[in-house]
Chains A and B, each alone.
Chain A
C-alpha cells in the first residue's frame, strides 16, 4: 500500500469502470463506505436530524398543531428555564436520586461481587439469578413494587409492622418525605445486580498469584483489598459508575409509573416529556431537553477529568 494511493479515497464520484485500475486501499475505502452507507443513513434519519431539529426548536416558540409557523425567540426559552422553579425542583430530584442510587448500587454491587467471586456451591445459579431483575422491563418492576408499597394491602407495610419497625401503615408513595426513598429502592433492586456483574467481570481477571504473594508477605485480607483488589478493579468501577450515572440522570420510566407528572417528584426527563407531549410546547420542551443534555455532559466531563478515563475506539 503506497501512501499516495490512499491519499484521497473519497474524491468525488469515481466512475465505476475505474474500479479495475484502483489500488487495493482505494477499493477498501470504497467498499467500507458502501457497507457503512445504510447505517449512516439511519443514523442521520433517526438521530442527527431530530437532534438538529430539537436544538433549533429550543430557540423558537414552536407549538405542535399551531397554525402559524414557529418564530425565532433567541434565548428566551433558556432565560425562562433559569427562573423556572419547577425545572429546578426536577433537577434537584434527579440529582438526589442519582447520588443516592449510584452510591448505594456501587457499594452493594461491590459487596455482592466480592461474595459471588468466592467459590461456593450454587455460585452458577446465583450469577444467573442476578441478571433477572435487569431483564425485566422497568415499567413492570415499578408496578410490582408499587403494589408492594401499597398503603393498605402492601406487603412492605405488613413486614415492617411484623418486625416492629413501624406501628402504622405508611403511604410510602404519597408522602413527600418517603417518595424518594421508595423510588430509589426500586432502582437499587433492579440495577445493583447489574453493577455487581460488571464488577465481577473485573474481579475475575485479577490473578490469584497476587493474593498468594501478598499472603506470603503477611498482608491481611483488608490490606489486600485496598492494595490489590481496588486498584486493579478501577477500570470496571469507572465503567459501572459512568453507565449508572448516565442512566440515573435520564431516568423516566420508574418515576412516571409511580408519580406521573407530580410536580414535586418529576425528574428532568419527565418534565421535558410533559411539556413536549402533554402541552405540545415543543419549543420550551426542546430547551429542557438541551438543558438535560448539558447537565449530563457536565457529569461526564467531571468523571472523565477526575478519573482520567481513556475512550477506547
Chain B
C-alpha cells in the first residue's frame, strides 16, 4: 500500500519532469526557429528557395546571396550610414547625458525634482507625437535628407534614457571618493572627469550599447526624414528590398535574408556578451509599482 503511493508519486514526478522539458523545448524552438529560417533562406540558391514543397535542410549551401548583397554599393552605404548615425548619437548622448546625470544624481538643488520628472516623462514619449514639429523644423533648417537630421531627431529617445539610467549608476557610487577628491583640491570638473566618470564606466558601456541599438534599429524618423537611397540607414535599406505590392519571385528573399543575417549577427554577439548588464540597464529606473 505504502509502496504503491510512493511509486505513483515517483511516476508523477517523472511525468512532470518530462512535461517541463517539453515546454522548455517548445519555447526554445519558438524563439530560435525564425533565425534558423533566415539563415536557411540566406544560404540556399533561388532554385531551392522557390521550390515547393519547402526544403527544410539544404543539401549544398552556398554563400552566393551574401556575396551578392555585399557587392551592392547601396547595402554597404546603408551599413556605413547606420554606423555613422548610431555612433554619433551614442557619443553625443553619453557626453551630454553623463554630465546631466551627474548633476541630477549627485547634487542637491532646487528644481532637480521637476527636471527629473521631465526627463522621466520623455523616456516614455512616443516618437510620433513630435513628428509634425520635427519634420517642419528639419525642412526649415535644410536638414531634410541629411544624416544630421537623424542624429538630431534620434537624441529625443537616446538622451532622456541615457540621463535616467546613468543617474541611477551615479547614485550608487560612494560619497567619500568625491569628498576625498575635493579635499585634495580637485575642481568639480576634474572630480567628474577623473573620478566619477571612470567609476561609472560599466554604466556608460551599458547605456551606450542600449542607445546604439535603439538608434541602429530606428525606422520611423529614418523613413520620414530621408529620401534618396544614398542616405538610407540599414533598416530602410532592408525595408526597400521588398516593394509593397510584392509576393513571389520579384523579391530577392535570399539576398534579403542574407542582409538580415549580416546586420543581425553583430547585434546578437554584442547582446550575448553584455546580457547581464543590458538586463540590469533595462530594468533600472523606470516605474516602480
Q: Which positions in A face B, CB cutoff 8 Å?
A: 6, 9-10, 25, 28-29, 31-36, 38-40, 42-43, 45-47, 49-55, 57-58, 62, 64, 111-112, 115, 118, 120, 126-141, 143-148, 150-155, 158, 174, 189, 193-194, 197-198, 201, 234-239, 242-243, 246, 249-250, 252-253, 256-257, 260, 268-269, 272-273, 276-277, 282, 285-286, 289-290, 292-293, 296, 300, 307, 309-313
Contacts and interface: CB of A to CB of B under 8 A. Distances in A.
A126 B30 CA distance: 12
A43 B158 CA distance: 11
Nearest to A307: B289
Given A143-B242, A235-B289, A286-B132, A193 B31 contact: yes
Closest 10 CB pairs of A and B: A39-B100, A238-B289, A53-B133, A50-B133, A286-B132, A235-B289, A35-B103, A32-B107, A137-B217, A54-B133
A133 to B, nearest CB: 6
Nearest to B273: A128
Given A39-B100, A129-B32, A132-B268, A269 B287 contact: no
Interface of B: 20, 23-24, 27-28, 30-32, 34-35, 37-38, 41, 49-54, 56, 92, 95-97, 99-100, 102-104, 107-113, 115-120, 122, 124-137, 139, 152-153, 155-156, 159-160, 163, 188, 192, 213, 216-217, 219-220, 223-224, 234-235, 238-239, 241-242, 244, 247-248, 253, 256-257, 260, 263-264, 267-268, 270-272, 275, 278-279, 282-283, 285-289
A138 B219 contact: yes
Nearest to B82: A137
Contacts of A43: 118-119, 122, 159-160
A29 B137 CA distance: 33
B93 to A, nearest CB: 9
Contact of B34 (A9, A52, A148, A253): A148
Given A42-B155, A136-B264, A137-B267, 12 more contacts: A39-B159, A46-B155, A54-B129, A54-B133, A128-B272, A150-B247, A153-B50, A237-B289, A250-B127, A252-B219, A293-B129, A309-B289
Most chain A Cβ neighbours within 10 Å, of B96, B131, B163, B213 = B131
B224 A277 contact: yes
B99 A64 contact: no
A201 B260 contact: no
Nearest to A134: B271
B283 A256 contact: no
A126 B152 CA distance: 37
Contact of B136 (A132, A147, A282, A307): A282
Given A131-B278, A277-B135, A31 B24 contact: no
B34 A39 contact: no
A246 B126 contact: yes
Contacts of B263: 137, 140
Contacts of B102: 35
A150 B250 CA distance: 13
A293 B132 CA distance: 13
B54 A158 contact: yes
Given A137-B263, A138-B217, A276-B131, A144 B34 contact: yes
A45 B219 CA distance: 21
B110 A10 contact: yes
Given A49-B133, A139-B239, A35 B192 contact: yes
Contacts of A138: 217, 219
B100 A40 contact: yes
A234 B288 CA distance: 10
Nearest to B41: A147
B271 A135 contact: yes
A273 to B, nearest CB: 6
A40 B223 CA distance: 27
A118 B53 CA distance: 40
B128 A292 contact: yes
B275 to A, nearest CB: 5
A11 to B, nearest CB: 11
A136 B267 contact: yes
B16 to A, nearest CB: 10
A139 B35 CA distance: 14
Nearest to A141: B34
Contacts of B152: 45-46
A132 B35 contact: yes
A198 B288 CA distance: 12
Contact of B153 (A9, A38, A46, A282): A46
A291 to B, nearest CB: 10
A53 B132 contact: yes
Nearest to B54: A158
B27 A115 contact: yes
B91 to A, nearest CB: 13
A286 B122 CA distance: 18
Contact of B223 (A9, A126, A256): A256
11 contacts: A36-B99, A46-B152, A47-B125, A137-B235, A143-B260, A151-B247, A239-B283, A252-B219, A253-B235, A292-B129, A313-B113
Contacts of B107: 28-29, 31-32, 35
A239 B122 CA distance: 16
Contacts of A128: 271-272, 275
Contacts of B278: 131
Given A28-B108, A32-B103, A46-B156, A57 B136 contact: yes
